[in-house]
Structure 1
């Protein structure tokens, strides 16, 4: 953010030289706000040299200063405003005085909210989310590849370097994503990350109110959201509350002594998130998970500090309003202070009751993951207020199930067993499900490049319960293993750069195998979009037998039968076992092949190693 001289006044004109002698304000955050929010309270962070010695006043109908908070740091002042219902949008001056003498003014604006903003609908099980790592997707504006003042420059040959993907590149390919059938985009963080190296992932944020200039501007991000919305696509923002960048502007002058967790010597998190529920846990291990640093370049923030957690609540709301967002994803959720994050999620959901927030809950068992979902019945009565969690348990099952033969706890039974623990989740439709993301290997590498296994995985992912998430390149069978390093698991999308020899954004640029995968997903995604039975219909499944998994989705209007046959041999599927779900249906039509199946004969023929999705009649 630019440094503002407080001599810039709305109603009065003062010379720059006279104000330079009086006072200097570096920042006021949030930079502006909105009227008619459900929560009438606004907390302003003011940063400037010795700013805490000043009194603050203002004069605007409907707005009052409730409290001024000083910390142990003289260069910060927190000003709490009360904005009454019915207050008009407009501008006013914050007046800074010392011993009754006006020293400076700072202009502040309250904007009008977008119509029906509070009732915006977030992503849900009717959506398919497409995860994009912007730096690796498409370079729409080469002029911002390297930016003055940003240390990490363009180096596409370096797997850990900046490759030049940006917001314009995403905008340029929204039609491609709409054609595929995507209804929501989750971008890894776009806020500024000014670390000197490995900044392309942007999970070490150096300015929470500014889009990284190598991606574009705040205005570009708002434009992305508007263009996506025209195509029926929601934008999900990735938020990082657990840690910031060592390059964050406030690390040179912290707002308070307890803004970050400080140890006698550098202490990294033990990454033992199970300490949350461990009945035998020691205090030292518990605190090391929550308070230890994620990495040396990522100072661990102290969410117990009320000023800090309120800063993040307001920052998230600011972006939702400013960019007209369709939801939030919160990184490293179980590393944050859990009580503070319950306030964070609860406050945001009160402001936007139909929004959705998903937390990254990278844990192995349903019991551990379910703990973090709102309304879970927990041993300590903890309620996170977090609507949505990420199902890493089902992810792990998917990565193994299709490479194993059927056994007591292997093969397709892994999927069955994982879902059998859904009783632990209070909201089973509101769970993120995925076969790969930016932190894992590509599913096609896990499957050894087998397109039939790929179709099995996608069939399951897109017809079982929850909110399915795809990763960039899923649709064109991109490969790469996590063990090979970031260069293999976070590859550039072929065709996103003018110099690319291959452009897989077009059918002409794809191989026959890639087009087969793309067309399979396109048909399935666009069918799913139109079928609420897959979004919220009742799920009933049957224990896998003979490497074949059968389940049904049903509501009052429709029933769909899914058969995943992983067996290498053709087989006759006896339908008698599924009578409870089949009822009086006599036929079914496969969504992909459009082949008709007669159910009256008591069995159906399954081709080797194929999946079918039958709309029953």
Structure 2
């Protein structure tokens, strides 16, 4: 064989091997030294990767486990990271397939040391929910991305409007001035799907959608928010992915998802099957295994490799961004045993962190069953610190709509004995999935202000939906509920971020909200005090918040007429009180001389108790 033919054959063989072997993805993209999770399982994806021989570098990181998947194109490696690493380190792993040799460098990073990270959120906070696409467009240049399936549109209610990370950064001072302390932002991961603006059908779990910005820009948002003493809550989804996620072209295991694209169960919204002592396993499976829609693929958290992937994914984002909390979407639809492990792993790593699970049911007993250390012995300890208080939300909405009076709110709070920690419930009267409070109240601003006063002065962690502070109304349509914030987008006729441009109506509600938030900030009893309340008569609701240093009395008159409140009804609670001071007006009343006070119709007053 002549030399030319030999070289040609060698080239063809080598080229053939290179076509049959590749490394395309490594997730998570890095890990850190000094973590409690000091062994990380990396998922490597590439053509025939499981057939390759592995030649790891010797040093302070070693491969302690090699796992092959059902697909030949996946390999899972367990890396044990030495705590002795003092600086950023690249762990090299060699792969040999035929005549093809490839070396990857896996970054092991030193953790950022700061007291300003992973702080959690609590009843001392006020949370503000931002729909990322609908808040503010800080960079119109990223609105149109060539390979995006869902393109920018300013007219379609369910189309993308252009809100992004730069827009949120530009309004941090607005949020700070309003009196917000923490910000929950809807998902911003790559969501290359149709109707993608909401972000809840991710197609890459380690990449921010370029229409929102980048991973680096999200980290910058967190840093700047922390500089303003604002906490950031990330919206995370373990339950499902978008059908265009790259996994769907080649699953590692058939059990990675529940069912198949062609044959799967529809979502069963019976969230009560998990705590129900009489539920058979197949009933629970119907809740955990169903697909929300045909384009939202239901993940099987019971698969041990996927469970570890999801745990590491959450920890990676927490560590990389430095966020303070997670709101976990569609929580009851996940395998609850896997999610208990997920919660515990995160909280073991970040003891001050907080996680709120979206439990969409209005029954306190069912909500309580999902909170950690529940009192009902339902299968396991969920390790979930915080749940969404849809029971109180329903009571608020029944009051706003006129279906019930203030007694509905009293009756809901009276069931707090069911919860392990009622102070660690996320409270609200609207969100991005249900019609806004003012729409429910039929634009009754006075009633709305009463609801807002209760929200910000009763137990729990209050959450305000973006635009509530300027009286956005909307209707029952998701696209309208999630309308763009006026002034956040090009060609907006009004800038509601500025008091000079807001309407009189908008400024009235904004100023009321801002003042109430300032009062809450300055008086810890309103956020952290022991709650004592009295059954409402004639739609007048009285309750107290008390700490060792301060006591407050809140009186709400939900009726259509002025009410004279007889303080003798509360003489035990007021036994040591000589005077009361109206926080809003600073008017002081000597209640040893005058036991009756007048409250205007459909209004709320807050009084400090003076000994």
Q: Which TM class, normalised by the smaller chain length? A: over 0.9
CA distance in 1 between counterparts of 2:543 and 2:232 reads 32
Match of 1:319 in 2: 317
Q: Are residues 1:506 and 2:498 paired?
A: yes
Match of 2:552 in 1: 560
Residue 593 of structure 1 aligns to a residue whose secondary structure is coil
Which among 593, 596, 606 is matched to residue 603 of structure 1? Answer: 596
Match of 1:7 in 2: none
Q: Deviations over 1:546-587 (max 9, x none)?
A: 111000010100001111111221121111111222222122
| Aligned ranges 1:1-400 → 2 under 5 Å | 20=18, 23-88=21-86, 89-98=88-97, 103-116=101-114, 120-195=118-193, 197-262=194-259, 265-400=263-398
Which stretch of the first structure deviates more once superposed, 487-496 or 255-264?
Answer: 255-264
- How many residues in Structure 1 have an aligned counterpart in Structure 2? 594
Q: Deviations over 1:10-66 (max 9, x none)?
A: xxxxxx989956842110001111110012110100000010112334225321111
Residue 347 of structure 1 aligns to a residue whose secondary structure is helix
Which among 430, 433, 442 is matched to residue 436 of structure 2? Answer: 442
CA distance in 2 between counterparts of 1:55 and 1:367 reads 54
Residue 572 of structure 2 aligns to a residue whose secondary structure is helix
Residue 314 of structure 1 aligns to a residue whose secondary structure is helix
Match of 1:569 in 2: 561
Match of 1:541 in 2: 533
How far the C-alpha of 1:126 sits from its partner, in A, is 0.8
Cα distance change, pair 537–57 in 1 and its aligned pair in 2 (3 A): farther
Q: Which runs of 5+ in 2 are unaligned?
A: 1-13
CA distance in 1 between counterparts of 2:197 and 2:401 reads 33
Instruction: Using structure 1 for the length normalisation, give the TM-score.
Output: 0.93
Which stretch of the first structure deviates more once superposed, 150-159 or 81-90?
Answer: 81-90
CA distance in 1 between counterparts of 2:171 and 2:15 reads 49
CA distance in 2 between counterparts of 1:298 and 1:135 reads 20
How far the C-alpha of 1:401 sits from its partner, in A, is 1.8
Q: Are residues 1:594 and 2:586 paired?
A: yes
Which stretch of the first structure deviates more once superposed, 247-256 or 527-536?
Answer: 527-536
CA-atom RMSD in angstroms: 1.9
CA distance in 1 between counterparts of 2:307 and 2:279 reads 26
Which stretch of the first structure deviates more once superposed, 77-86 or 457-466?
Answer: 77-86
Residue 244 of structure 1 aligns to a residue whose secondary structure is strand
CA distance in 2 between counterparts of 1:315 and 1:501 reads 41
CA distance in 1 between counterparts of 2:427 and 2:379 reads 26
CA distance in 2 between counterparts of 1:94 and 1:599 reads 77
Q: Deviations over 1:505-526 (max 9, x none)?
A: 1111111121111111111112
Q: Deviations over 1:172-230 (max 9, x none)?
A: 111111000011110110101111x2110010000010001110111110111111111
Divergent runs of 4+, >6 A: 16-19
Which among 588, 599, 614 is matched to residue 607 of structure 2? Answer: 614
Instruction: Using structure 2 for the length normalisation, give the TM-score.
Output: 0.94
How far the C-alpha of 1:92 sits from its partner, in A, is 2.3
How far the C-alpha of 1:123 sits from its partner, in A, is 1.0
Residue 429 of structure 1 aligns to a residue whose secondary structure is helix
Residue 520 of structure 2 aligns to a residue whose secondary structure is helix
Residue 296 of structure 2 aligns to a residue whose secondary structure is coil
Which stretch of the first structure deviates more once superposed, 535-544 or 278-287?
Answer: 278-287
CA distance in 1 between counterparts of 2:365 and 2:455 reads 21
CA distance in 2 between counterparts of 1:523 and 1:86 reads 52
Q: Which runs of 5+ in 1 are unaligned?
A: 1-15
Q: Deviations over 1:491-538 (max 9, x none)?
A: 110101120001111111111121111111111112212333223211
Which among 449, 465, 468 is matched to residue 462 of structure 2? Answer: 468
How far the C-alpha of 1:381 sits from its partner, in A, is 4.4
